[in-house]
Structure 1
Amino acid sequence: MRPIVCQGHTRPLTRVRYNRDGDLMFSAGKDAKFNVWSSATGELIGSYDGHTGVVWDIDVDANTTRTMSGSADSSARLWDARSGKCLYTWTTASPVRSVAFTPEADLALIVTDKKMGQPCTAIIVEIKDNVADIPEAPLNIFLPEPELTPATIARWGPEHTIYMGHENGTVSCWDAMSGERIASKKIHSGVVTDLQFSEDGTYFITSSKDMSAKILDLKLHVIKNFQTERPVNSACICPVKEHVILGGGQDASQVTTTTAKVGKFESRFYHKILQQEFGRVRGHFGPINTVAVHPDGTSFTSGGEEGLIRLHHFDPDYFRFKLDPRDP
């Protein structure tokens, strides 16, 4: 499995993700860049230019007509996916930590940081075909605090629910329309670093600085637990094989004191059902900050602290491999 190394960022990666069709891969970084790549060749296609601070999170709608980004420059932006033109900007009172479209892309979620004297805030905005029709006022605003610590990641669940990971390891579920908390549970003992849903949206995986990743159902019951020896910064669920991929490694502040081997800068593969690790992919020279898997399960991408993206197309042996005889 020889990787394609994509060089388009000068600072650490914060997010990589694929569009629904899987032909494009998107990346964001601490260099204020938001790029789009060919997922087949790793060729840089273009960028969405305009942010002046770290781009913490990105999303792309189901038809790949629009993308969205959230930045430490205290703004969230809506973009034309093809032209790269900025269509709309939401200005916030503090840095934006997380953004996400609903599956229908009629609404979007913007979550801001608890900084500059401002609370962590969840903002629900309407998305219109004609951007001139986008209302200036949000559809709803609610505060995940003071009941819970600030949110680090947020994603849409079914029926206009929102699932959040928090600084204290809690995972919570909210009604986006009313702002009411439906449920919350302490899942991790450290910061929740990522939250990614399964392809069918019936369960999701979280990762944490507590050196674990966990699969939860929609009622926040822990179904599976994957333990490691290093902080886990990101985790994703493979759509074809019964696998999950974890990325992380020794904290960036300690990277200069170790080698890549000791730092555990590998993408780690676990069997989703057996919770057993069966493979690792090396190559990064610093912690892996973000991982994503192709919607067809044919490749995966990792983004590192060193500013490199590694795009891996799975070999035929990967699809023939069976840790469990019942595997597809």
Structure 2
Amino acid sequence: MANRVIPLTCSGHTRPVVHLSFSSLNDDGTYLLVSSCKDGNPMLRDWTGDWIGTFLGHKGAVWSTKLSPDTSRAVTGSADFTAKVWDTYTGKVLHSFPHNHIVRTVAMAPDASHILTGGNEKKVRIFDLAQPESEPVFLNRPGGKESHGGMVKSVVWSEPSMGVSAGEDGVIRWWDLRSQEEVRSVTLSDPILSMELSKATSKLVVTSGRDVSFLPVAPGQYETFKVTLPYAPSSASLHPVLQDRFVAGSTADPWVRVYDMDGVEREVYKGHHGPVHCVEYSPDGEMYATGSEDGTIRLWQTIPGKSYGLWQGGQPNGG
């Protein structure tokens, strides 16, 4: 008899949850989860889903939140035209960087020395946290053109000196952050909805149109794998250990679906009461998190019934 799939529900947000990001795996096997929400209050949780704290200070929807590798810092991007850097232990704002429009995406350098931002201005900026009063560096295309021809939907810091940006123009661009020059670009056939860096697999997971594309994060590698789904996925995440499956959400329905790499649906679950905006596997691959229009985060086991975290004997215990 198959195990019943019962997700843990993490409440606390009051509006749609639009982005989720896990930290790297700590030496003791634990990790953290940050959530971005239209309520303007990003939340930090531990690996069991238990609430740790809320970052209070934005005056608009928060579209993106990322943690530093050591989890001591967080960076957020908001509709209030700012990106902020936070101390995760105290919850205090350390820096606030003004923009001229909505900040849709942020990333932090591996050594937490700089941040990348992008958004409605179509520009990608680098801010130096050691010199927070200094003007940012802009990543421009040849001729001084803006970073993208449409809204910047996602930025990731892939290596100490390499960043990647993705835009509604359907283009993914690799940037040498030392020279501020573009070193490669790939153009997809549809506007990009999401792009996440799967750190354990060194792959970019990109959703555009009805496609989920898997691209090497290294700019010199060119093999690209694509899976076409029967609907337009809002977000997708590759299993970090097995690499034989990915999870996808959709803004068209409340279902969460897991697929084989050949596009065959292997699992489908309903737990949310609204469209699913974002999905992300935990760094150990034991579970994945989903965020929805219904204002909740739900945590799902990769192997239902396994005793893990707050699933004791396969049954949720808390959350």
TM-score clears 0.5: yes
Range into which the TM-score falls when normalised by the shorter chain: 0.7 to 0.9
Distance 1:51 1:135, change over 3 A: closer
SS at match of 1:157: strand
Matching residue's letter, 1:233: S
Worse-superposed segment, 83-92 or 223-232: 223-232
Q: Does 1:48 align with 2:49?
A: no
Q: Which has the higher helix share?
A: 1
**TM-superposition CA deviations, 1:142-181 (whole Å, max 9, x none):** 3464574222111112242221111122211122232222
Of 3, 6, 16, 1:2 maps to 6
Structure 1 residues not aligned, in runs of 5+: 115-119, 129-133, 251-262, 320-328
| 8 Å Cα contact 1:122-1:141 kept in structure 2 | yes
TM superposition shift of 1:56: 0.8
Counterparts of 2:271 and 2:75, CA distance in 1: 29
Matching residue's letter, 1:312: W
Distance 1:318 1:193, change over 3 A: farther
Query: Which residue number in structure 2 is paired with residue 163 of structure 1?
Result: 164
TM superposition shift of 1:24: 2.1
Query: Which residue number in structure 1 is paired with residue 247 of structure 2?
Result: 245
TM-score after normalising by structure 1: 0.82
Query: Which residue number in structure 2 is paired with residue 307 of structure 1?
Result: 295
Matching residue's letter, 1:169: G
Q: Does 1:123 align with 2:125?
A: yes
Counterparts of 2:136 and 2:193, CA distance in 1: 27
Matching residue's letter, 2:120: D
| 8 Å Cα contact 1:39-1:311 kept in structure 2 | no
Q: Does 1:37 align with 2:45?
A: yes
| 8 Å Cα contact 1:267-1:288 kept in structure 2 | yes
Residues 1-328 of structure 1 aligned to structure 2 (within 5 Å)? 1-20=5-24, 21=26, 22-40=30-48, 42-114=49-121, 120-128=122-130, 134-138=131-135, 140-143=137-140, 145-146=145-146, 148-150=148-150, 151-187=152-188, 189-200=189-200, 202-208=202-208, 210-217=209-216, 218-219=218-219, 221=222, 223-241=224-242, 242-250=244-252, 263=253, 265-272=254-261, 274-315=262-303
State percent identity of aligned pairs.
Answer: 26
TM superposition shift of 1:223: 2.6
Distance 1:7 1:316, change over 3 A: closer
CA RMSD, 1 decimal? 2.2
Q: How many residues of Structure 1 are paired with residues of Structure 2 in the alignment? A: 292
Counterparts of 2:100 and 2:10, CA distance in 1: 34
TM superposition shift of 1:316: 5.8
Distance 1:94 1:299, change over 3 A: same
| 8 Å Cα contact 2:287-2:301 kept in structure 1 | yes
**TM-superposition CA deviations, 1:1-39 (whole Å, max 9, x none):** 311111111111111111223432111111111111233
**TM-superposition CA deviations, 1:111-146 (whole Å, max 9, x none):** 1322xxxxx221111234xxxxx3411452234645
